[in-house]
Amino acid sequence: AKTQKQETGQNMLYFGAKTINNLPLLFEIAHPLPGNNSGVQVLFRVPVLPLQPLLTESIHFILSRNE
């Protein structure tokens, strides 16, 4: 889902999924950050600690691709 915060004007993207062994993955991405138009913030709502570094790296890879 995508929405815009009234207070900050940030675009908020919300993602949810489950792994094949039924672990929940819920996180949100905020863009732009105050004072940084190219920055994003990833906030995990249901942290699955072993998957968090891999998921963060994957998000960074997807968002930084130039095509």
> What does the pLDDT read at residue 38?
74
> What does the pLDDT read at residue 16?
92
pTM: 0.71
Q: Does the pLDDT value for residue 1 go beyond 80?
A: yes
The token pair that represents 46 in the structure block: 């249901």
Q: Greater confidence, 39 or 58?
A: 58
13-28 burial: b if 16+ Cβ within 10 Å, else e: eeeeeeeeeeeebebb
pLDDT per residue as tens digits for the range 11-57: 899 999 898 989 888 999 888 777 777 778 888 888 788 888 888 88
